Amino acid sequence: MSLQARDKAHIWHPLTQHKTHPDVLPISSAKGALLYDENGVSYVDGISSWYTCVYGHCHPYIIEKVYAQMQQLDQIVFSGFTHQPAVELSEKLIKILPDNQQKVFFSDNGSTTTEVGIKMALQYHYNKGNKRNTILAFQEGFHGDTFGAMSASGLSVYNGPFTEHFIKVVRIPVPSEETIDSVLNELQQLIAKNKIAGFIYEPLVQGAAGMKMYPAQALNKILKICNAHEIITIADEVMTGFGKTGANFASEAVATKPDVMCLSKALTAGLMPMGVTTCTQKIYDAFYSNDMSKGLFHAHTYTANPLACTTALAAIDLLLSQEVQASKKRIEQAHIAFANSLKNHDKVTNIRTKGVILAFDLNIQMKRYGKLRDQLFDHFKNEGVYLRPLGNTIYLLPPYVTTTEQLNKIYQAIQSLLNSL
Ligand SMILES: *Cc1c(COP(=O)(O)O)cnc(C)c1O
């Protein structure tokens, strides 16, 4: 029996309506920017496997480090114990994060990092004896699929069965330079009417919304108002973190720094799952007490798994290497040139680039998960490229190690798509 047939027997895939979904594609290996299927056909991984494998798949440097760690210490309870990889990772992260970040809380994935961020914001006020019950978020934000994260996500197309169980969230639109004043107005009204504990946002680029980009100055104005009202600001950098927008973190481009930061995806370069939520001393201090119940009672079995921490340490070494920094610049410039070449195409609107991210919208009507979307996916697959369009948005976030030749292959696949429309 083929892998596809065996897969069908017992596997339930994420984000999938199995009755209408086309067959899934078995992948047997991956190296650098390339994925290989069972027949040895290769595909350029144009989205770094959901923004994780930015240093390329199966990177020998990371593998070597993790292999050594595997023979030393595999797993230990992180309540009551500590270990070298976790301590080193905390130090390394604090060194590269915005200056105000001081403490690192470990968890397993992006959703748990935002879940922890939301809990930090709610309990911060609770511990201070001033209960606040509302979270502020952007209309089209995405923060994950656990309940707190899902509640904060504005992109809840298929969350109908759960909405009545959500935590309380109020929303503002993502600002542009033109709309910022009216957004600030809305924000002031929401603050007056609600007890807002925290504001969760994806800085500069909203990934799941279709790589929607918005200006740092406008975000900064929102953050300043939040600070003035002691609303804990939570930067969800699960997608933007570790160099995607150019700087190591998108928050670097914003004058006002967040109280809390959520990191996952490229944190562990696609090799191990892990997430961290970092925060300022001010947040940590609100939990520091002789009173046991003021602590943060949140844990996962694999919290700060030594292999995951080792992966993250090796990944940060690569991020900071001259080779990766130079390669990122090369991709950034190639994107800008390609974006310019698309500017006058009548089927293309809203071309945007930031760092290694390039996105544009097709000037045609379509559903987020419709038939045309499957056709786009198939087109790219047939061209030897893995892209995953979101509705009518086509976006690239290639690994930093993607060669110029591989990049051109992606661009050509897009060109041939546009020519066929
Ligand atoms: C992917 C993502 C999440 C959720 O992360 P998971 O690891 O899939 O749970 C949260 N926030 C943002 C911005 C993301 O891109």
Q: Please give the average per-residue pLDDT across 405-412, as a whole number.
A: 98
Q: Choose the weakest-confidence range: 124-128, 129-133, 303-307, 362-366.
A: 362-366
**For the CA of 275, the nearest atom of ligand 1:** 7
Q: What is the pLDDT of residue 157?
A: 72
Residue 41 and residue 7 share a domain: yes
Residue 365 and residue 327 share a domain: yes
Q: What is the pLDDT of residue 22?
A: 85
**For the CA of 141, the nearest atom of ligand 1:** 13
Q: Tell me the pLDDT tens digit for each residue of 284-298.
A: 999 999 999 999 999
Question: Of all protein residues, whose CA lies closest to atom 15 belonging to ligand 1?
Answer: 239
Please state, in angstroms and rounded to a whole number, the distance separating the CA atoms of residues 414 and 71: 45
Q: What is the pLDDT of residue 158?
A: 77
Q: Tell me the pLDDT tens digit for each residue of 345-360.
A: 999 999 999 999 999 9
Residue 309 and residue 333 share a domain: no
User: What tokens were used for 90?
Assistant: 């905390």
User: What tokens were used for 106?
Assistant: 């470990």
Reported residue count of the chain is 421
Please state, in angstroms and rounded to a whole number, the distance separating the CA atoms of residues 417 and 414: 5
Q: What is the pLDDT of residue 184?
A: 98
Q: Tell me the pLDDT tens digit for each residue of 166-190.
A: 999 999 999 999 999 999 999 999 9
Please state, in angstroms and rounded to a whole number, the distance separating the CA atoms of residues 220 and 237: 16
Q: Please give the average per-residue pLDDT across 235-253, as a whole number.
A: 98
Ligand 1 touching residue 114 (CB < 6 A):
yes
Q: Tell me the pLDDT tens digit for each residue of 50-97.
A: 999 999 999 999 999 999 999 999 999 999 999 999 999 999 999 999
Contact call for residues 257 and 99 (beta carbons, < 8 A): yes
Residue 80 and residue 54 share a domain: no
Confidence band (pLDDT; 50, 70, 90) for 375? Answer: confident
CA distances from 293 to 6, 104, 301 (A): 49, 20, 21
Residue 153 and residue 78 share a domain: yes
Q: What is the pLDDT of residue 21?
A: 87
Residue 245 and residue 187 share a domain: yes
Residue 131 lies inside a defined structural domain of this protein: yes
Could you say which of 265, 296, 319 is where a domain stops? 319
**For the CA of 208, the nearest atom of ligand 1:** 15
CA distances from 25 to 3, 220, 282, 368 (A): 9, 43, 48, 20
370 pLDDT above the threshold of 70: no
Considering only CA atoms, which of 306, 327, 148, 156 is closest in space to residue 243?
Answer: 327
**For the CA of 145, the nearest atom of ligand 1:** 9
The residue whose CB lies within 8 Å of the most ligand 1 atoms, and thus the one to mutate among 108, 143, 302, 390, is 143
Ligand 1 touching residue 236 (CB < 6 A):
yes
CA distances from 141 to 34, 99, 121, 165 (A): 30, 25, 18, 19
Q: Choose the weakest-confidence range: 100-104, 158-162, 299-303, 349-353.
A: 158-162
Please state, in angstroms and rounded to a whole number, the distance separating the CA atoms of residues 141 and 235: 11
- Residue 356, SS3? coil
Contact call for residues 48 and 35 (beta carbons, < 8 A): no
The end-to-end CA distance of the chain, in Å, is: 37
Residue 68 lies inside a defined structural domain of this protein: no
Ligand 1 touching residue 264 (CB < 6 A):
yes
Considering only CA atoms, which of 353, 328, 327, 325 is closest in space to residue 338?
Answer: 353
Please state, in angstroms and rounded to a whole number, the distance separating the CA atoms of residues 186 and 139: 12
State in Å: Cα 278 to ligand 1 middle: 16
Residue 300 and residue 208 share a domain: yes
State in Å: Cα 156 to ligand 1 middle: 14
Q: DSSP code of 83?
A: -
Q: What is the pLDDT of residue 162?
A: 93
Higher pLDDT, 364 or 244: 244
Ligand 1 touching residue 143 (CB < 6 A):
yes
- Residue 209, SS3? coil
Q: Tell me the pLDDT tens digit for each residue of 297-323.
A: 999 999 999 999 999 999 999 999 999
**What's the whole-model pTM score?**
0.97
Higher pLDDT, 402 or 20: 402
The residue whose CB lies within 8 Å of the most ligand 1 atoms, and thus the one to mutate among 15, 202, 234, 239, is 239
Residue 148 and residue 15 share a domain: no
Q: What is the pLDDT of residue 401?
A: 98
- Mean pLDDT, rounded, of the chain: 96
Q: For 307-368, where are the E strands, in sequence order?
A: 348-354, 357-362
369 pLDDT above the threshold of 80: no
What's 328's domain CATH number?
3.90.1150.10
Q: What is the pLDDT of residue 52?
A: 98
Please state, in angstroms and rounded to a whole number, the distance separating the CA atoms of residues 172 and 189: 11
Provide, rounded to the nearest whole percent, the portion of the chain with pLDDT above 90.
92
**For the CA of 240, the nearest atom of ligand 1:** 13
Q: Which residue(s) pair with 199 in the sheet?
A: 136, 233
Q: DSSP code of 279?
A: E
The residue whose CB lies within 8 Å of the most ligand 1 atoms, and thus the one to mutate among 264, 267, 397, is 264
Q: What is the pLDDT of residue 180?
A: 98
Question: Please, is 132 exposed, middle or buried when counting C-beta atoms within 10 Å of its C-beta (0-12, 13-18, 19+)?
Answer: buried
374 pLDDT above the threshold of 90: no
135 pLDDT above the threshold of 70: yes
Q: What is the pLDDT of residue 155?
A: 79
Ligand 1 touching residue 42 (CB < 6 A):
no
Could you say which of 287, 319, 351 is where a domain stops? 319
Q: What is the pLDDT of residue 366?
A: 62
Q: Please give the average per-residue pLDDT across 241-246, as a whole number.
A: 98
Considering only CA atoms, which of 269, 394, 278, 264 is closest in space to residue 338?
Answer: 394
Ligand 1 touching residue 111 (CB < 6 A):
yes
Q: What is the pLDDT of residue 320?
A: 98
- Give the range of the structural domain holding residue 154, as residue numbers without chain letter: 73-319
404 pLDDT above the threshold of 90: yes
Within 8 A by CB and 6+ apart from 49, the residues are: 30, 35, 57, 270
- Residue 113, SS3? helix
The residue whose CB lies within 8 Å of the most ligand 1 atoms, and thus the one to mutate among 111, 251, 388, is 111
Q: What is the pLDDT of residue 371?
A: 74
Confidence band (pLDDT; 50, 70, 90) for 372? Answer: confident
Residue 63 lies inside a defined structural domain of this protein: no
Ligand 1 touching residue 142 (CB < 6 A):
yes
State how many domains the chain has: 2
Contact call for residues 33 and 44 (beta carbons, < 8 A): yes
Ligand 1 touching residue 212 (CB < 6 A):
no
Ligand 1 touching residue 48 (CB < 6 A):
no
Identify the H or E element spanning 381. Answer: helix 371-382
Residue 176 and residue 232 share a domain: yes
